[in-house]
Amino acid sequence: MTTISDIKKQIENSSARAVVENAIKLSKDNDEYHAILNLTEERALARADDVDAGKTTGKLAGVPFVVKDNFLAFGAPTTAASKMLEKFNAPLQATAVEKLEAEGAICIGKANLDAFAHGGSTENSAFGPTKNAIDPTRVSGGSSGGSAVVTALNIVPFALGTDTGGSIRQPASFNGVVGVKPTYGTVSRYGVVAMASSTDTIGSLTSNVTDAEFVMDIIAGRDIRDMTTLPDFFQVQPETKQAQKIGLIKEFMADGVDTDVRNCINQYADQLRAAGHTVEEVELPMIEYALAIYYIIVPAEISSNLARFDGIRYGHRAEGVKTLAELYGKTRDEGFVTENKRRIMIGSYVLSSGFFDAYYLQAQKARTLLINQFNELFSKYDALIGPVAPTTAFKLGDNTSDPIKMYLEDIMTVPASLAGLPAISVPAGFDKSGLPIGVQLIGPRQSDAALLSLARSMEIK
């Protein structure tokens, strides 16, 4: 697969313009996957010329990348894959994009996602699904499906995504790339369309772990414009800690999980043992409740965050209305897909008076119990492992009729999100049909670099 260092060599041997032109050509040639919603061609080529002229320099000078289309970025609309923002040209750029541009990286396009990042297959995009990079009859995963597919197809060496409950890790697993969901607060979310503020994170999709470390190192850090960001703690660890104690999460290896997936994770555990680490089965019983906690807290936060889309200040505005209620109602009807509405309404329900204690408050208390169980395990273990998802990429259309079936896809990724823990998805093998399987590594808060170091040491060179 194409890595950042491959691209840097290509730039040295030709030019940034040639490399960026090639990336744009590749994305057009792979149009059938529908991974990119809009290219930022004109701006990208102008920036490439600046690199070639020596006006733009940095650690990623001339290296093309793609952002999920919920990052505000110049050169094309920021749609969040919705009709609401179809024509929205952002007046500013996300901090993460600015940081990459400050190192000379060149954004060439905006990747498809489930509208407003609500979904696990990119089938909820208002502009049509993204197809899996390995088998186009299957889903890309989601919600950062487009970002995973452009990386897997070697269109760009890296892409940015967002992960609220698995939206980087699961598509990374489905397309055979490395996906990083960092500790909550590692990367500024300023300039990124908000979904669920207590679990929203920003991370990378790359072809290997070294590139993930490289990108995370650049985008991590405190930003006064996102008050939840932590002081920069991310420091690449070239040396991997020896003889680590690793817990294999028992609940993630239950009967309902695909046999090929389980076998693959067991093999990874054996490889960890062969490398001198200890791997033991551990129990995390609160995992049984994690999805229920998630699907109360996240819709509640969504209903609040998406209240801003009212047709007044920016985005879509409905025509031909007579009252204010009609203006809001019709604007939001036309601007949102059904899954957006479903989540907003569930959020309204669990937050409404009379139900608040039974749903929202109970979920926040249950969240504490889940976090306590994680903390207990991390007092004994350096990291936890398990699958990313119970299956490999499923067929397009298979899960669209039943929202709960789709939500169950998130069952292994939401626990780390609720606890704010770093979790990464690393390619670990393939199922019988040749579809990629990812292993998930979860660590204590702020152990992101150690987790990546462990993953790098296990990578097949």
Partner 1 sequence: MTQITRDDVLHLAQLSSLKLDDNEIDGLRTDISNILGYVEKLGELDTSGVEPTYQVTGLENVWRDDSVIDYGVNRDDLLAIAPESTNNQVKVPKVL
Q: Which residues in the 93-132 window bind partner 1 by CB under 8 A?
A: none
Q: What is the x/- site pattern for partner 1, positions 315-344, by CB under 8 A?
A: xxx---xxxxxxxxxx-xx--x-x--xx-x
Residues 441-460 that bind partner 1 (CB under 8 A): 445
Laid out side by side, the sheet with 158-163 consists of 36-39, 106-111, 64-68, 158-163, 201-206, 178-181, 423-430, 436-442, 383-387, 245-249, 278-282
455 with 438: CB under 8 angstroms? no
Annotated catalytic residue, options 68, 110, 131, 181: 68
Q: Site for partner 1 (CB under 8 A): which residue of 92, 241, 281, 376? A: 92
Annotated catalytic residue, options 82, 144, 147, 167: 167
To partner 1, the closest distance from the beta carbon of 334 in angstroms equals 9
- Report the distance separating Cα 37 and Cα 71, nearest Å: 13
440 with 411: CB under 8 angstroms? no
To partner 1, the closest distance from the beta carbon of 19 in angstroms equals 28
Residues 199-258 that bind partner 1 (CB under 8 A): 224-225, 227-228, 230
Q: Measured from the CB atom, is 198 or 271 closer to partner 1? A: 198
| 82 is annotated as an active-site residue | no
Buried b (16+ CB within 10 A) or exposed e, 365-375: ebbeebbebbe
Regarding 198 and contact with partner 1 (CB under 8 A), the answer is: yes
Residues 72-91 that bind partner 1 (CB under 8 A): 88-91
| 401 is annotated as an active-site residue | no
Residues 29-58 that bind partner 1 (CB under 8 A): none
Of the candidates 387, 382, 395, which has an alpha carbon nearest to the alpha carbon of residue 428?
A: 387
Q: Site for partner 1 (CB under 8 A): which residue of 362, 373, 398, 400? A: 362
Annotated catalytic residue, options 27, 143, 303, 417: 143
Strand partners of residue 66:
109, 159
To partner 1, the closest distance from the beta carbon of 45 in angstroms equals 24
The number of residues that bind partner 1 (CB under 8 A) is 73
Of the candidates 281, 262, 276, which has an alpha carbon nearest to the alpha carbon of residue 387?
A: 262
Residues 409-448 that bind partner 1 (CB under 8 A): 418-420, 445
- Report the distance separating Cα 335 and Cα 249, nearest Å: 40
Strand partners of residue 246:
279, 383
Of the candidates 71, 62, 65, which has an alpha carbon nearest to the alpha carbon of residue 13?
A: 62
| 68 is annotated as an active-site residue | yes
Residues 364-403 that bind partner 1 (CB under 8 A): 364-369, 371, 403
Q: For the chain, first and last CA: distance in Å?
A: 12
Residues 281-320 that bind partner 1 (CB under 8 A): 289, 291-293, 295-296, 303, 307, 310-317
Question: Which amino acids are annotated catalytic?
Answer: 68, 143, 167
